[in-house]
Structure 1
Amino acid sequence: MRLHLLAMGLLATLAACAPIPMSEPPTRRAMAVGERPAANLVAGCVANYRADTDYFPDKAAFAYSAQLRVEYHGHWKRVTFRPSVDTREVLRLVLVQCGTPPPKLGPRDTLVEIPVRDFATANVSLLGASELLGIDDRLKGVPTRNVSIPAIAARIESGETIPIYAAQHGNGEQAAALGADLFFTFYSAYPDANIHPLLKRLGVVSAPQADHTEPTPLGRAEWIKYLALFFNLEKRANQLFDERAARYVELRALTANVEARPLVQLGYPESRDEWSQAGGRNQLYRMIEDAGGRHAWHDNAIAGSLTYAPMEKLFDRAAGAEVWLGNFMPGAADMATLRRDHPRLTWLRAVQGGRVYWFDAGKVGPFANSWSDQGMTEPQDALAELIAILHPELLKPPAKQRFIRKIPGGAA
């Protein structure tokens, strides 16, 4: 992770020298709204505010997320974000319908006028959700030029969406230069890496985004509702989430009673001496369990990431894992390359048996693939692929892997 951030930080520094084209956000027009609106106002401002009117008949609620809650108050919403990681911070966002008066704000409240007209993100996880919600045409800035979603890639190519090389955690100066209504920041487990305090000083309205530290896949997928709140698109988000959650639950039921549960090791070699992996409360481990597997770190209570150095420390628990599931860093092209670059890993049972898989199918560039861009909103597809790997007797693999790639080359 540290090497990745260093490399992306260098790109951010170089990119900061290039001018960011400025453009005015779309003009909001005032609209008369009835006493009992039939739907949320997805464009424009209220022209005839009434204090006793509920301007959000379409509402969302978070049933799975461990970090998010939302309250509705007629013409405004309050979103509370309590991070799963221990940063000792609680953030509150007050979303006020355009054309209505703001409520009294507390010291931790951030005011956001909605519906948001345009936005930028430092987290590629939101790209797939943006396309599903139909708001990718409002996307002014993304953290990288390489994305797996054709419509957004086309916008980048045409210059309508600007790559700001935000190193996931964000680039404050470029975020300010974009002039977007809202900037979604990547929320880090390391407080010093979070840039929302800097953005506030720069006058940039920002919102944290931390799907990656949810303890369950469905909790992570609910972040599409979080994005929708800023655009009054709760009805659409509820429909999208419910469809995916129903399929996930259906697939999970396939493995509920399996007795043989393969041991799975998650993570990747960050360097020749360090191993990085998700903590035992991360949603990827829950997906392994839901797919009929088990993992060696069930007693670990961390929702973020862990680093082991020297790398041999992981062998105490993981050397006997039948399957190795790599994530984040791009995987090796083949098993021969993996063994050449990391000879110590040939001790792993998964490497010896040729059962090494990686979340990098559909790779379009460094750290850019279908899982990074679309995995948040499609946990049911990733679960299906994982079940087919761990229990092929229960589910056949899809004709084309969307998220998980088997490292070719076979056993040693």
Structure 2
Amino acid sequence: MTPTSMPEPAPTIAPTAAVLELPETNLTEGCVTDYDPEIDYFPEKVTIVDAVGWTIAYHNNYKVITVLNPWRDADVQFQYVLVQCGTPPPDNVGDALVIEVPVQSVVAMSTTQLPHLAELGLLDRLVGVDSFLYINNEAVRAKIKAGELVEIGSGGQVNVERALDRQPDLIMTYGVGNLEYDAHPKLLEAGLKVVLNSEYMEVSPLGRAEWVKFTAAFFNQEAKAMEIYDSIAGRYREIAALARNVADKPTVFANRPFQGTWYMPGGKSYVAQLLADAGATYLWADDTSTGSMQLSFEAVFDRARDADFWLNPGNWKSLAEAAAEDERYTQFAAYQNGNVYNNNKRLNENGGNDYWESGVTNPHLVLADLIKIFHPELLPDHELYFYQKLEQ
């Protein structure tokens, strides 16, 4: 009798550890549905190169932003904990404001924030602004016309009820350290998620522009922001290299008196940096302040009467307006030689100046204008974008 053949036993397979599926991009829509504390939910991160007013620290499911210098001479900092929605917030956040990201709706309380949203492709998230009057961005103006945005006002007179009615995930504003002009205390008191953007405190043009990364972090759009900023900074540095070391540097001064005081940009301000990068000699470059100096007409005239160029004289659109305001302005050599240029070429019907809107995010365009004014041979094909020469 032939014995029955027995089947070979199946080989034993050792158990293997589960393989984590690590995300390759940040989650820009929706929330995490199966949270794992071992996963880094922000594989796309920003690094800060030129800005000095904020920091960001990444953790697996949250990031911490600190606004270091919210306004001049501030003795307070603001911290925001951005938590990936669908994941738990960290313990012991202290006084930090916790905000779930990616944000789905936002109110922007400065026109300088609108180019950030536009460049990042996030204007569909915009639900409100401080005022409709001074906006230049055509896509935002279309949203206004379509009734898609609400005005909430500004400063101490901010309309908290309108903001509460809209219930945005985020309100981005700014502060000056004065309750009369600051909206954030009232908005925070009402329980709204309010973040201070202090880009205006930066002392370099690129530092100001880099706050596009700050905005992007609330939408998990870090990769796009890095790409946008690298392009802007690359172009800025490229054209600055053309002009910074020219042999002949014309002398320049700026602004005009306001209520009897001439507010002249400090020698370490972003304006002074722009002028240096454009191959000009700023007459107050020896000053060490980052804000504005308060000078008399006489002090300015004494130093700038023979200057080659005069920039940014308020709202003038012609030399005749200058002469009509104060005949003494006609005694400056820059006036007599027709070298007065103003940054008000792009105004809307209410006087909203695009220089203070898209110009902050695009300093390479401002720099190109200045180089064209001072050294037209270096950029022969460039047409003035923000600036115009004042005629009689």
TM-score bracket for this pair, using the shorter chain length = 0.7 to 0.9
Please, which moves more after superposition, 204-213 or 193-202? 193-202
> Alignment partner for residue 264 of structure 1, among 245, 252, 264?
252
Superposed, 1:263-282 pairs within 5 Å as 263-271=251-259, 273-282=260-269
Cα deviation, residue 191, structure 1: 7.1
Name the CA distance, whole Å, in 1 between partners of 2:46 and 2:39. 18
> Alignment partner for residue 194 of structure 2, among 202, 206, 219?
206
Cα deviation, residue 306, structure 1: 4.1
Name the CA distance, whole Å, in 2 between partners of 1:303 and 1:188. 15
Q: 1:39 to 1:66 in 2, by over 3 A?
A: same
Match of residue 282 from structure 2: 295
Superposed, 1:1-400 pairs within 5 Å as 35-83=21-69, 85-145=72-132, 146-166=134-154, 171=158, 173=160, 174-188=162-176, 193-271=181-259, 273-308=260-295, 310-326=296-312, 329=314, 331-396=315-380, 398-399=382-383
Cα deviation, residue 97, structure 1: 0.6
Aligned length, in residue pairs: 370
Corresponding residue SS for 2:104: coil
Deviations 1:66-86 (A, max 9, x none): 112111001101111111732
Cα deviation, residue 296, structure 1: 2.5
Corresponding residue SS for 2:310: strand
Name the CA distance, whole Å, in 1 between partners of 2:305 and 2:382. 29
Please, which moves more after superposition, 223-232 or 365-374? 365-374
Cα deviation, residue 105, structure 1: 4.1
Match of residue 14 from structure 2: none
Corresponding residue SS for 1:193: coil
Identity among equivalent positions (%) equals 33
Q: 1:343 to 1:209 in 2, by over 3 A?
A: farther
Name the CA distance, whole Å, in 2 between partners of 1:175 and 1:261. 50
Match of residue 10 from structure 1: none
Letter in 2 for 1:55: Y
TM-score (norm. length: structure 2)? 0.88
Q: 1:342 to 1:137 in 2, by over 3 A?
A: farther
Letter in 2 for 1:137: D
Letter in 2 for 1:264: V
Whether contact under 8 Å (1:87, 1:191) holds in the other structure is no
Cα deviation, residue 177, structure 1: 4.3
Whether contact under 8 Å (2:279, 2:374) holds in the other structure is yes
Corresponding residue SS for 1:87: coil
Letter in 1 for 2:320: A
Cα deviation, residue 370, structure 1: 2.1
Q: 1:332 to 1:232 in 2, by over 3 A?
A: same
Name the CA distance, whole Å, in 1 between partners of 2:163 and 2:290. 28
Q: 1:131 to 1:170 in 2, by over 3 A?
A: farther
Cα deviation, residue 43, structure 1: 1.2
TM-score (norm. length: structure 1)? 0.84
Deviations 1:90-115 (A, max 9, x none): 11111111111111344441111111
Structure 2, gaps ≥5 residues long = 1-19
Deviations 1:224-243 (A, max 9, x none): 10110000000111101111
Structure 1 outlier segments of 4+, above 6 Å: none
- Is 1:404 aligned to residue 392 of structure 2? no
Q: 1:57 to 1:269 in 2, by over 3 A?
A: same
Name the CA distance, whole Å, in 2 between partners of 1:397 and 1:361. 18
The structure with the largest alpha-carbon Rg is: 2
Deviations 1:277-325 (A, max 9, x none): 43333212111110001212224343334444x4333324333322111
Letter in 1 for 2:181: A
Cα deviation, residue 143, structure 1: 2.6
Name the CA distance, whole Å, in 1 between partners of 2:55 and 2:139. 31
Name the CA distance, whole Å, in 2 between partners of 1:363 and 1:158. 22
Whether contact under 8 Å (1:213, 1:282) holds in the other structure is no
Corresponding residue SS for 1:357: strand
Q: 1:359 to 1:143 in 2, by over 3 A?
A: farther
Q: 1:99 to 1:155 in 2, by over 3 A?
A: same
Corresponding residue SS for 1:79: strand
Corresponding residue SS for 2:376: coil
Cα deviation, residue 406, structure 1: 1.6
